Amino acid sequence: MTFRIQDAAGAEHVLPSVRDIAAEMVSVRHQIHANPELAFEEFDTSALVAERLRSWGYEVHQGLAGTGVVGSLKLGQGTRRLGIRADMDALPIHEATGVPYASRVPGKMHACGHDGHTAILLAAARCIAQERSFDGTLNLIFQPAEEGLGGGRRMVEEGLFDRFPCDAVFALHNMPGFPVGKFGFKSGSFMASSDSVTVTVKGKGGHGSAPHQSCDPVVAAAHIVIALQTIVSRNVDPRDMAVVSVGAIRGGDAPNVIPDSVLMRLTVRAYRPEVRAMLRERITELVKAQAVTLGVQAEVDYHWRYPALVNDEAPTRFAREVALDWLGEDGLLPELAPLTGSEDFSFMLEKCPGSYLIVGNGTGEHHATGGCMVHNPGYDFNDAMLPIAASYWVQLVRRFLQSA
Ligand SMILES: [Zn+2]
Ligand SMILES: [Zn+2]
């Protein structure tokens, strides 16, 4: 199905400068889509982004987190500094959309719309550079490896905000199931933290017929699984969200052998940093205490992955006002509930105030396979959203870096 600007909510508000280049930026999106690259391997995508930004007059910095790109534009004497981030990586999924620009790489696919996010920010970058009507510094951040490998964290650790200080940073994500082109904002906790834990229960193996001569890690692991259920039900405030799931448990091979050890793997989620910290404390205490009671040893390897994504109030209000004043209530989604996924823009928000917003990707009317969620082999970014979302970034830049 072809791309039509008018399919998006608020399409009549698309800026003329964006409208002029929309078709070209959609073809850039298709080019990125057809050539997906996984985490930290976004060499061609990153080169494309850098080359375009340079051609429009941005000072381009490459190499942060390997394939990360930052394009900076400084105009006037203004001291305000704004960051906008897009993600560039694809997923290890075999595409099944059947679109003409489908992935040319078996087993790799842009199934989360990061091709769209990159094209949106590039379209905005071009219009902003043409207008040259702001006062201050604009840093456009194109990050690698959002999907699980923490490219955002690496950019921050490698000095993103030391080298490119920002007073606020913003990012958007498309969201299937919401009307295409409508904007959603949420102050406070918006996405969950996601941590993983490996527990190794070590006992003493032996013959299944003589348990008294061994120290059984299977029984201890069973007690630990049950004890872990009390954390969410007894320690977490009922008004808070938390998840502790034992997703894998491995030990032993034969019915008549007590194994030496059992391995367990957990996923742990929360919305609030305080709850996240408490979960770690309780999981560790509880596993150790159970082990002592049952005479085994237990090692807890706690892996902090992504923190909860917490939107700051003032930047979220600002981001919402930009959309509201420009599109009216009709352009906005109703108050959003927090999402249970996680997102490594959270690392940027830990260092810099800002807000992460969503834009509706539609309900599947834009392609033949119908509606589906991101990370599905049938998913496709909705091109009708590109012009309205690019116009939004232009508006946000104009307002945040207003000329005096
Ligand atoms: Zn994703
Ligand atoms: Zn994504």
Residue range 293-352, pLDDT digits in tens: 999 999 999 999 999 999 999 999 999 999 999 999 999 999 899 998 899 999 999 999
* Residue 367, pLDDT score: 65
CA of 111 to the centre of ligand 1 (A): 7
Which strands sit side by side in the sheet containing 354-360, from one edge to the other?
59-62, 69-75, 136-143, 81-87, 168-175, 354-360, 183-184
- Ligand 1 center–CA 314 separation, angstroms: 27
The helix/strand/coil state of 284 is: helix
**Can you tell me the distance from the alpha carbon of 75 to that of 382, in angstroms, rounded to the nearest whole number?**
33
Pair 93, 112: CB distance under 8 Å: no
CA atoms within 13 A on the CB side of 198: 9
State the Cα–Cα distance between residues 112 and 174, nearest whole angstrom.
Answer: 8
- The predicted-structure confidence for 111-133, as pLDDT tens digits, reads as follows 999 999 999 999 999 999 999 98
Does residue 369 surpass a pLDDT of 60? no
Structural contact between residues 220 and 296, judged by C-beta atoms closer than 8 angstroms: yes
- Domains of the chain are 5-190+308-400 (3.40.630.10), 194-306 (3.30.70.360)
How far is 54 from 82, CA to CA, in rounded Å?
Answer: 19
pLDDT value, residue 18: 97
110 C-alpha to ligand 2 centroid (Å) = 9
Which among 199, 375, 404, 150 has a CA at the least distance from the CA of 297? 199
Please tell me the predicted confidence (pLDDT) of residue 404. 59
Contact 398, 133 (CB under 8 A): yes
The alpha carbon of 112 and the centre of ligand 1 are apart by a number of angstroms equal to: 5
Would you call 368 helix, strand, or coil by DSSP?
A: coil
Q: What is the mean pLDDT of residues 216-233?
A: 97
The number of beta carbons lying within 10 Å of the beta carbon of residue 263 is 15
- Three-state DSSP at 290 gives helix
Q: What is the pLDDT of residue 50?
A: 98
- The CA distance from 65 to 159, in Å, is 10
Percent of the chain with pLDDT over 70: 98
Distance from Cα 134 to the centre of ligand 2, integer Å: 29
Question: Which ligand minimizes its atom distance to the CA of 374?
Answer: 1
List C-alpha distances in Å: 159 to 70, 135, 243, 324: 12, 24, 32, 34
Tell me the whole-structure pTM to 2 decimals: 0.89
Q: What is the C-alpha separation between 342 and 146, in angstroms, rounded?
A: 10
375 C-alpha to ligand 1 centroid (Å): 6
Length of the chain: 404
Computed over every residue of the chain, the mean pLDDT equals 95
Ligand whose nearest atom lies closest to the CA of 113: 2
Q: Return the half-sphere exposure (C-beta side, CA atoms, 13 A cut-off) of residue 69.
A: 26
- What is the distance in A from the centroid of ligand 2 to the CA of 117? 9
**Residues 211-234, mean pLDDT to the nearest whole number:** 97
Strands of the sheet containing 193-202, edge to edge, are: 242-250, 261-270, 193-202, 297-306
- Residue 372: predicted pLDDT: 85
